[in-house]
Structure 1
């Protein structure tokens, strides 16, 4: 009897061990994860910038290839979320410069807005401007417009973009955005347009008018 009980225990233990080995060998069934929605700040989004130093053709303080600093002048939002905070650093570059010369020649320069320093990432932006020192406006190259009250005339024969001048840049490509968990961007409401009344079309009977045969 005792031997039979021992044999039964050994058999059960062996069966349990075998079952455990079989369970460990069964692959785990993978389940397709739900894709997270793709959210991004679209290319072409306008970004208002403010230059933080005066850039001028006067003297030898600036030359072609020099970079200058700007900051984002206002929060750039996606829905209710701030994607690019006010005060984010930006960088521009002088791509062409000529100083004032004899016979009334004024100083001129072209500048290009290059990128934002958003955390540890550089975000490319677009915006090219030309400044002339003969009183002309800060003109644009490529369809980007100067922003705010700073888009007025600059006097003087040396080309100068003063500290505080606002320039408008645009986002070069879509910028992926990681929203807080569970957050969504509400779709923009559709603007209803009042329907125009339809004018009734006169109905002709084909009968000749009075006095006609």
Structure 2
């Protein structure tokens, strides 16, 4: 009798686990943008000496060869303002089940970024993201997890534009309150899946110097806006 009870429990457990595995896929709505945020700041392993750091900053600031800048932009240059939005589309699927740390993936911009009536990042520009962490679903109802980095995109003249592109997502957790622990251990949450075409909305993380003056902008990019909506900035003063 005791053996029959154990076998029945094992069968029940396997059935529940099998059902959990079959229903453990969750696909994010492609048309709902995933919003990127600022990257978390990590504390340095060794804190710098304040006096040495202050001296280095002052030496750099007082260097006569150093270009004069304001908010990170050389005086007289035009720039992409901090907070400028970009909409990116994923070019390949990503899943918490198969994506491991370090995996690269491609995205494509969907809209032109126009500064002073000149396209500086045209629609269709590709950039590369990276999986920071990937973990499949687990027992006790835990869903899969993904942490992604979309760190930068380049302008037509090769300037790297930093982005607030930190993405953290988790698959839906499965309820395990009804089951004893030895069954809950086999019940898995859902994997997190981003399909090809998934939208990601990110923003420029800081004012980005385009390395040209207003008069040089058109020649540097060679891509007129043709009446498209533009962001207008004054050369940094």
TM class by smaller structure: 0.5 to 0.7
1:109-139 CA-partner distances (Å, limit 9, x unpaired)? 111211114454433222212222218xxxx
Q: Which structure carries more helix by proportion? A: 2
Aligned residues, how many?
129
Give distance in 2, aligned partners of 1:64 and 1:165: 20
Conserved 8 A contact 2:118-2:218: no
1:51 and 2:90 equivalent?
yes
Partner SS state of residue 173, structure 1:
coil
Conserved 8 A contact 1:89-1:118: no
Give the alignment's Cα RMSD to 1 decimal. Answer: 2.8
Quick one: which of 112, 116, 137 aligns to 1:75? Answer: 112
Alignment of 1:57-136 (within 5 A): 57-58=96-97, 61-119=98-156, 120-134=158-172
Q: Which runs of 5+ in 2 are unaligned?
A: 1-74, 174-188, 225-230
Structure 1 runs of 4+ aligned residues shifted over 6 Å read 185-188
1:171 and 2:209 equivalent?
no
Give distance in 1, aligned partners of 2:218 and 2:203: 25
Q: Which runs of 5+ in 1 are unaligned?
A: 1-35, 136-155, 189-213
Per-residue deviation, 1:41: 1.2
Relative contact order (C-alpha < 8 Å, sep 6+): which is higher? 2
Per-residue deviation, 1:108: 1.1
Point out the structure with max Rg over C-alpha: 1
Task: Tell me the TM-score normalized by structure 2.
Answer: 0.48
